Structure 1
Amino acid sequence: MSRASEPPTPQALLSGAAITTFRLNGQFLTVADRLAAPAGLTAAWWQVLGAVLTEPLPVSGVARVMGITRQSVQRIADLLVERGLAAYESNPAHRRAKLLAATDEGRAAIARIGPGHTAFAERLTEAIGGRAEFAAALAALTRLSEALETLADEAAASADARRTGG
């Protein structure tokens, strides 16, 4: 049996998934920047504003939702507040960790992205082969993300146990 017909090794699959995901991330950021630009936003600003459209969140909560560092979100949040697109509100659950909330101006900026976002989503759905294909791709990506999170949590718990001798 030739090697070409054998399925890829787990290591090759992991590497391929990582490289493809990094490429997808770059592609999504490029598209998001193009869609957000007419509204005076960047992809990162759009992401942070989008996280607080329905309810105010602390910066750490936005970071958790987005899967990025609190420091990165803090820099963006400060810029959004400076430009009047978001505001800090008091947090009844934590006196020092203010809540970030979208302002009316921020909501209006996000609304201006809507038509272009809808048109691009429809073109992408068609290009990938329709809603069912797109839904299947999303489901696979979601399973991959959940598996990585579970394994990362297990690795962290194992490392903690080794560190504490437990």
Structure 2
Amino acid sequence: MHRNPNDPKAVFGGAIVVFARRWRMFIDEKLAESGLTDASWTPLIYLHRLGDGLLQKELAAASGLDESSLVRLIDILSQRGLLERRIDPDDRRARRLYLTDDGRQTAAAIRLQLVALENELLADFSDGDVAAVLGICEGVEAKIEKAKSEIKARG
């Protein structure tokens, strides 16, 4: 069965990918003055939002970043004095992530900038419209996670 290429469901995935790239590029350009790229401010923001003490793999899962890429970003943020790794007292092989005071201040400032930029970009849309889009994205994401779990279970 062929779907009409003008059908919104037929173009949804591609449109979301393009939208996400453009959104991130715009935000990245606006935040460039902070000296952080999108890739490096993303883990900082998620750690600030979710709280100190996350494992690297937890931060990777929450932020959608690849674990191997995240290692390099954590190194950069650590070298800049924005976060630190600490040995997990319950598992000496594991490292937990903590924002430094500078990291907390930087993340808070970036979050304020993000809120202002998001408000600017979404100003013409109602809260209901935005909530509806978020609901669709969350629903699709749940289906993706379910499908991935089923594939993994089949081995």
The TM tier, using the shorter chain, reads 0.7 to 0.9
- Which residue in the other structure is 1:34 paired with? 29
Cα distance per residue 1:100-154 (max 9 Å; x no partner): 1111111111222244322222222223x21110111111111011111111111
Amino acid paired to 2:153: A
1:109 aligned partner: 106
Q: CA deviation at 1:92?
A: 1.9
Q: What is the alpha-carbon distance in structure 2 between the residues aligned to residue 132 and residue 42 of structure 1?
A: 31
Aligned to 1:21: 16
Q: Distance in 2 between matches of 1:40 and 1:124?
A: 22
1:79 has 2:79 as partner: no
Shift in alpha-carbon separation, 1:66–1:117, aligned structure 2, 3 A: closer
Cα distance change of structure 1 residues 153 and 26 upon mapping to structure 2, 3 Å threshold: same
Q: Following TM superposition, where does structure 1 have runs of at least 4 consecutive aligned residues deviating by more than 4 angstroms?
A: 6-9
Q: Which SS does the other structure have where 1:55 is aligned?
A: coil
Instruction: Indicate which of 128, 131, 146 corresponds to 2:127.
Output: 131
Structure 2 residues not aligned, in runs of 5+: none
Distance 1:83 1:32 in 2: 21
Do structure 1's residue 52 and structure 2's residue 47 form an aligned pair? yes
Query: Using the alignment, how far apart are the partners of 2:95 and 2:112 within structure 1?
Result: 32
Count residues in correspondence: 151
Do the aligned residues in 1 keep the contact of 2:45 with 2:111 (CA within 8 Å)? no
Instruction: Tell me what 1:148 maps to.
Output: 144
Supply the distance in 2 between the matched residues of 1:90 and 1:138 (Cα, whole angstroms).
Answer: 36
Query: In 2, are the aligned partners of 1:32 and 1:42 still within 8 Å (CA)?
Result: no
Identity %: 25
Pick closer, same or farther for the CA change 1:32–1:93 going to 2, 3 Å. farther
8 A contact 1:41–1:109 mirrored in 2? no
Q: Give the structure with the higher percent strand.
A: 2
Q: CA deviation at 1:30?
A: 0.9
Q: Which runs of 5+ in 1 are unaligned?
A: 1-5, 161-166
TM-score, L = length of structure 2: 0.85
TM-score, normalization by structure 1: 0.80
User: 2: CA distance between counterparts of 1:57 and 1:78?
Assistant: 15
Q: Is the 8 A contact 2:27 2:117 kept in 1?
A: no
